[in-house]
Structure 1
């Protein structure tokens, strides 16, 4: 690889790049911001003694050349890496982003990128089908016309016709292929490039080292598409080594790369997924087992091992294939259960194994799976999974294959099932607008007093019902808002580095401490958290709680922390409503549930929140459309809210005249026509 000459480096460092001369100042600023973000990623790794030892000499040399290159060259490389996939003409890119560049400068850029092996220039390496997909629909159509192929309805159909033309004329196959390649070259031109695979891999590794602590950013497209104006939480990254050597990191990186490819598999291709599952299973059997003692004080860091990532991949594959390849999935699950008995996924594996056995009509074995799970692994199984097991067991405990001993052992391990009839319920009748499109959200026709019509979804119908008939003045879909209010009140505890908890703040790109989604988060900060819960419930005066909420909102709402920037879903007015109408003691209890296991309880709260500020009252409502059923997680939230004294209800929005699953006893259920 050649280095740029001194003159080029001076040109770069003195900021005399043609980018700075562009009349498009806004575009220049966007480019400068993008370069700042990307260069900051690589500088972060190069200046971190716990990460830089992972990078090999070749990667360091590449980064050095790129870092001292002209802005245009940096921008093209980073853009090809993050958002320009396949071959693109540099002149086309010039037209889109850098109009001020001269033709000569574009050619110089091409030579620099090619010479340093940042890009590939041989379009045939991609293969004809792939390159044709990278062309515009018009270009593909014109190539077809050149070969007397009638235009097709879509670009894909046109590509199929071109490839078929080659296949169906074996004598002239070479000639036709040559014609197509010549036309492709004419369309892309002499200066078409794509990022070099080796260079991409080097950059990928550095990017992963910088951002591995933030799951949301493991796909770089998500990182560059975020709002660059948003700040990350303020803390000092710890001096902590997660990867002991380069080999350990490369195993982890390979696993992460495979995980990303799963998302690209179209239509959950079962055959392809099964093959990947076999390879992952084989890899796990040969992989050196992680020493749990290393993670005794930092169990939250075990997720950054190849072993953990592969277990996650195999779990996802089992969920997808449990009925299509039941025998193979059963083999995978038994391996996982036997070899990783203390995994946080153990409840999921037993649940999937139960489903597979039921599918294979092995009822007794399925029931024994529940017995084994609840008798030997209950400490690792989540609450909602225990109730799921109970729900499944109730369906099978009287099966003819279950003897009395098995029955007795089973029922002794189960929790009391949740009785849905104990939840307050309302029924709202509305005229459904029918559609023949499956999977579409239901809408209902509402008549105003002036005779006009409105169309509302089930949640909007329910909200109107409570405002019109139940004394509430306003309502809102509250998904995320309660979570954000929790984040705000606990911000200074979540992001405090006192007490010192090893391995929780490792990267400037983190949005939460690394033990946030474990039960250890509460255990590690128990004293601080308990005090804050008590402050909210009773110790702070009303004036103090409002003042603190306002202060926290002003300080932190713009920062991308737990759940993203708070200001996107929550304002000070709504914070006051939450405190006033829910009540401090109930609010504190809701926060207690979240803070003790936010991973398990951050979702499935009632989705509709109603209030009346004057009367200081609020109601949580879970809205269900016709034939919708409450999930176990939703049932557990409703059960908990009732237990702490919150006003809760399940509202069933039904089509007029439909057959209801609910008991139609008017004394039991409030019914209203809309």
Structure 2
């Protein structure tokens, strides 16, 4: 019991006197001794890193320790981190007394006194912990390790297992048809675990803005990948289906190389970045979904940073001709070429630019609304507006509330008669998709059944039948955990049915078929809002853009696609009162 408790906590040294598990026992000393003797945890005798010891001490004891060594700057306002850094610097200094035989260094003296202040402490043995972590990884396979999972020993996974075993969490039932063996042996699994740990270390350094550290981690991982390709037979990975290939060593190191492109660009090493991009694009086994981003980035680096314009145009052409590049990145490459054609300095390349494949997307209606910008929203990220409470929505009249641009737009559409509205972005549509496709997704013979459902929906199925179909699935599987379905997106079954009544079967069938063909690339870029009028069954899909925000390529494509499907779509620009806005 104690080991599991410690396993779920962050991987670091813990003071024994801070461990309080009454259900295990009032005196944990004999329990910890048993775990130490069994090789599962370490005791303080193994604690030899000064930084780790200092991390255990609270600020008052750190301050007392610093004063003992006459460390300056130990006033009442001194931060704990400053004290730790000061003691670490002092510990690295070479003492004159350490030159004499039998004398300890300054660092050793500080370590001894700090350990005395910290008292008994324990930490999980790294090797034994790695075995349990590896078991959890294999039990609940993932293609990344979140920082929390790395530090806390899979706390989230253990908690999920507990919820499932206690009946408080339910997943869909389906038959696993295991057609391929993902890991041939234990070494394959260990290599994969090491790869995703390396990936997470790179990501963590990037998120912290430590670009030089990130470069070092990336360089080390790249060298490991080169060595693995020479010493291990990884050809079996190419035979795996794509949905399993993402759990391989090659896929993971390819993701690290892709992250390396961003690191190199941040450090203005554009030539190196281009070389990595060319290496990534020279293969199509790993991360094929990223090829559009790689082509786009390659064209940008060649054009803007290296001024190799003809090569940039070649990259655009190759990217537009690549069958693995999806529509969003195709449009991005097309727009880059269009911008180049408009510039005088590219006049001599007009023939090359003119002969590129074209991508056509039609614009939709744009409207502009104005609102009062909250004046003290600096540092809060997105723009924050003020709006009056809406009595028709059950709010208390006469007061002002802070709101997002999407909430301001919802209030605007309520005034236009749309009494229902959801700010759900892609989750609104994925939830409808998941509910209507539930039985098909979790049974065999998926492709044929999808076509049958589409024919059923598109051939004028009655509103009552469509709502009954939704109700049957809702009542059968409500609450089951599925990545497609957000059960909180609709307040009730009736709420979802009222939206389905407004969208109608013909539109829903085309939307579901589009998502079924390429869900990975369809889940992003869908409009922010769905608003509808329950009295006349009209509906509008709205992309909301705040000040200084613009449509992404995926959003442009989705708006055009939805318009072609027959939906009423528009872009709602929210501007501050007194500023210049978009033309309606």
Closer, same or farther: CA 222–370 of 1 in aligned 2, 3 Å: farther
Quick one: structure 1 residues 305 and 444, their matched pair in 2 at CA, closer, same or farther if it must change by over 3 Å? closer
Q: Please tell me whether the aligned partners of residues 86 and 131 of structure 1 are also in contact (alpha carbons under 8 angstroms).
A: no
Post-superposition shift, 1:408? 3.3
Instruction: Quote the offset at 1:225 in angstroms.
Output: 5.2
Residues in 2 aligned to 1:487 and 1:145: alpha-carbon distance in whole angstroms: 63
- Between 1:361-370 and 1:128-137, the stretch displaced more is 128-137
Q: Residue 413 of structure 2: which of 458, 466, 471 is its match?
A: 466
Contact preservation (8 Å) 1:88, 1:188: no
1:32 corresponding residue in structure 2: none
Alignment CA distance shift 1:146-1:489 (3 Å): farther
Secondary structure at the residue paired with 2:323? helix
Query: Is 2:295 aligned against 1:361?
Result: no
Structure 1 runs not aligned, ≥5 long: 1-71, 500-524, 664-668, 670-674
Distance of aligned partners of 1:172 and 1:89 in 2 relative to their CA distance in 1, 3 Å threshold: same
Contact 1:137/1:155 (CA < 8 Å) preserved in 2?
Answer: yes
Structure-1 residue corresponding to 2:291? 346
Residue 255 (structure 1) aligned with residue 200 (structure 2): no
Counterpart residue number, 2:101: none
Inter-partner Cα distance in structure 2 for 1:436 and 1:474: 28
Give the aligned partner of residue 394 of structure 2.
none
Aligned-partner Cα distance in 2 for 1:298–1:182: 56
Shift of 1:423: 1.3
Give the match's secondary structure for 2:539: strand
Partner of 2:393: none
Shift of 1:465: 1.2
Cα deviation code 1:178-197 (max 9, x no counterpart): 5543443344423x111111
- The residue number in structure 1 matching 2:86 is 161
* Partners of 1:364 and 1:402 within 8 A in 2: no
Equivalent residue for 2:493, pick from 553, 567, 572: 572
Check 1:172–1:635 CA distance in 2 against 1; reply closer, same or farther (3 A cut). farther
Gaps of 5+ in 2: 99-103, 391-396
Alignment of 1:538-557 (within 5 A): 538=459, 540-557=461-478
1:328 aligns with 2:272: yes
* 1:234-313 map, 5 Å: 234-239=173-178, 240-265=180-205, 267-288=208-229, 296=239, 298-313=241-256
Aligned to 1:532: 453
Distance in 2, Cα, partners of 1:193 & 1:282: 35
Matched, 1:189 2:119: yes
Number of the residue aligned with 1:430: 371
CA distance in 1, matches of 2:9, 2:510: 45
Would the alpha carbon gap of residues 147 and 288 (structure 1) be closer, same or farther in structure 2, given more than 3 Å must change?
Answer: closer
Residue of structure 2 equivalent to 1:454: 401
Query: Are the equivalent residues in 1 in contact too, given 2:434–2:485 (CA < 8 A)?
Result: no
Per the alignment, in what secondary structure is the counterpart of residue 437 of structure 1?
coil
Distance in 1 (alpha carbons) for counterparts of 2:498 and 2:305: 49
Q: For the residues of structure 2 that align with 1:353 and 1:451, how far apart are their CA atoms? A: 55
SS at match of 1:611: strand
Alignment length (residue pairs): 552
User: Which residue matches 2:548?
Assistant: 627
Summarize the Cα distance change of 1:424–1:225 in structure 2 as closer, same or farther, 3 Å threshold: farther
1: CA distance between counterparts of 2:236 and 2:188?
A: 17
Does the 8 Å CA contact 1:216/1:222 hold for their aligned counterparts?
no
Map of 2:319 onto structure 1: 373
Question: CA distance change for structure 1 residues 371 and 153 in 2, over 3 Å: closer, same or farther?
Answer: same
Q: Distance in 1 between matches of 2:385 and 2:246?
A: 46
- TM-score normalized with structure 1 length: 0.75
Distance in 2 of aligned mates of 1:536 and 1:619: 20
* C-alpha distance in 1 between matches for 2:61 and 2:462: 70
SS in 2 for 1:490: helix
1:444 is displaced (CA, Å) by 2.1
Q: Which moved more, 1:366-375 or 1:447-456?
A: 447-456
Distance 2:228 2:295 in 1: 23
Give structure 1 regions of 4+ aligned residues with deviation exceeding 6 angstroms: 289-294
- Once residues 210 and 379 of structure 1 are traced to their aligned partners in structure 2, the CA distance between those partners, rounded to angstroms, is 35
How far is 1:439 from its partner?
5.3
**Structure 1 position 646, deviation (Å):** 0.6
Give me the TM-score of the superposition, normalised by structure 2.
0.86
> Given the alignment of the two structures, is residue 442 of structure 1 paired with residue 392 of structure 2, yes or no?
no
Greater Cα shift, 487-496 or 152-161: 152-161
Q: 2:123, 2:203 → 1: CA distance?
A: 22
The alignment status of 1:231 with 2:165, answered yes or no, reads no
Q: RCO higher in 1 or 2 (8 Å CA, sep ≥ 6)?
A: 1
Aligned to 1:101: 25
**Mapped pair 1:641 → 2:562:** yes
